[in-house]
Amino acid sequence: MAKRLSRLLLFFLALLFFAKPTQAAEISCNERYLTLINPVRGRAFWADKRTTPLIEQYSLIKARGFSATWLLQHEAMADPNLLAEIEKFDSRQEIGVFLEVTEKLAHQARVFYPPNYAWANPRVLFLSGYSRSERRKIIDYLFKQFKSEFGFYPKSVGAWWIDSYSLDYLKKKYGVKAALIVADQRTTDNYGVWGQWWGVSYYPSKKNILQPAHDEVSKEDVVIVQWAQRHPDLAWGDGPQFSNYSLQANDYISLGKNTSFFEELVDIYSDCTNPISQVTVGLETGIESSAFLKEYKNQLDALQKKEYLESVTLSEYSDKFRKVFPNFPTEARISGSTVWEMNVNYRKNEQLGDFVEYKPKAVFADFYEPDEGEFLNRRLPDLKKNLSQWHYLSKNFSLFNILSVLMFVFLILYFHLKRRPLWIILFAVSLGILAGFIRASYLSGKFYLGFALDAFRFVGLSFEKPFRLGLINQDFYNLRYFLNPKLNNFLFYTIAALVLAFIQNRLAKKR
């Protein structure tokens, strides 16, 4: 009898030793969420130009009863065939906006689109490549287009990078609730994004989307989720050989991994360590979905078996997050073999040697000015110095502007003391402002002289030999390269002031 009991005990010990329990069996906590998010670009970018990729992807989701969020690029919103299919979606599907800039979008928003760049180049693709006023025009046009198609403004947006100025504008004007950006990757696709909470949702600081809010004043009330959440141990490094250890089918398949790796990563991000957890799963419709639809099906089948995961749209998840954190989370933790500790002051992984300190005043330059570089460098450890509004003004306010202002202050005081009419000064100011819109060029045998009403519209005259004069009122998409005399500088103001002073003096003598 004793031998039988000892054998039985050894048998169970062997089972415990060789068995490999999954984290899924241990996950019995609430507030575990799945957000399926599918960016939909225009079909010009698709591998399969038919509407089939969209139909197939939606069919897989609907058959399993999942919710999903579909983020539409401008061209997708302008495609009647795609819109016809999207109108067939069930009520569990959410439609949002994918904030990528294309040439068509820029032109329709009356914004100059720099030529000779690949469509995915960060210089032209992201809002951060444009001035503040241009970003507002692009966003306003996109949201107007969205509302005209769907009858409401979207609550969810996404792009691999969203600058903090644009995010603040989206929140204040349109009430956006959730935003998707790319998870940390040091150097992949010319995009370097590094330093945010590792794979975990947070409210960002108003001036730095990668930093978690540390108080109510700094908090941007938009929930940030991450595309391609990455393995906590294997993805720390430079290049796709590290960043491809992610939840994306196209990423981990390229490394020889399979659905088992995907499930492991889902369980890591769904464990009970944090009060709420979220997993982002999706494919870029028509691009990756054409080649990886089979693996996407495997993913959905695996997710369907994880009963602890509640499928929600991106905006629904933001509502869940707000209930758990009505103010903001102060700490989070993610672990595999290594441990990521994160709070409002820093994130660290001692085993990997990662430490990022969050400084309340740290601001990326694109908050103030366009980033015209061809590599998107948004890596917090590389932020050498804090920027401020004063830094921006001092960098962009030229000596000519300062001298012009001083000149006009002097003239106003002079005319006031001499009891001369101030309308002359106001007239000179108007001339200075008007001169800022003057454009001139020589194209195809014609001289052009006139005014730029916006980024493209030119109104003026054309001169052609022997002597042909023409009136021009049309768009020039190369208008930015027309000669801009910039007469509204110190020289113009000085000459204008002297001329007007002379005229005023002559009129006074006649009287």
Residue 231: CATH number of its domain: 3.20.20.510
pLDDT tens per residue, range 57-92? 999 999 999 999 999 999 999 999 999 999 999 999
- Both 403 and 377 in one domain: the answer is no
Would residue 379 count as lying in a domain? yes
- Both 466 and 371 in one domain: the answer is no
Is-contact 372 123, C-beta < 8 A? yes
Written as one string, the DSSP assignment of 312-367 is --HHHHHHHHHHH-SS---EEEEESSSEEEEESSEEEETTTTEEEE--TT---GGG
Mean pLDDT of all residues belonging to the chain: 87
Would residue 36 count as lying in a domain? yes
Is-contact 324 221, C-beta < 8 A? no
Would residue 16 count as lying in a domain? no
Q: At what angle do helices 423-435 and 490-510 cross, to 10 degrees?
A: 150
- Both 195 and 316 in one domain: the answer is yes
Q: What confidence score (pLDDT) does residue 478 get?
A: 80
Domain total for the chain? 2
Lowest mean pLDDT, pick from 181-185, 421-425, 480-484:
421-425
User: Does residue 23 register a pLDDT over 60?
Assistant: no
User: Does residue 241 register a pLDDT over 70?
Assistant: yes
Q: What confidence score (pLDDT) does residue 447 get?
A: 84
Mean pLDDT, rounded, for 210-222: 96
Beta strand pairing call for 339-343 and 331-335: antiparallel
- Both 375 and 408 in one domain: the answer is no
pLDDT tens per residue, range 169-189? 999 999 999 999 999 999 998
- Both 440 and 353 in one domain: the answer is no
Place of tokens 């060029």: 441
- Both 418 and 332 in one domain: the answer is no
Would residue 390 count as lying in a domain? no
- Both 378 and 401 in one domain: the answer is no
Is-contact 298 257, C-beta < 8 A? no
- Which residue segment(s) compose the domain that 492 sits in? 395-510
Quote the tokens at residue 326.
């009505």
- Both 380 and 427 in one domain: the answer is no
Sorting pLDDT into bands at 50, 70 and 90, what band is 483?
confident
pLDDT tens per residue, range 255-300? 999 999 999 999 999 999 999 999 999 999 999 998 999 999 999 9
Would residue 13 count as lying in a domain? no
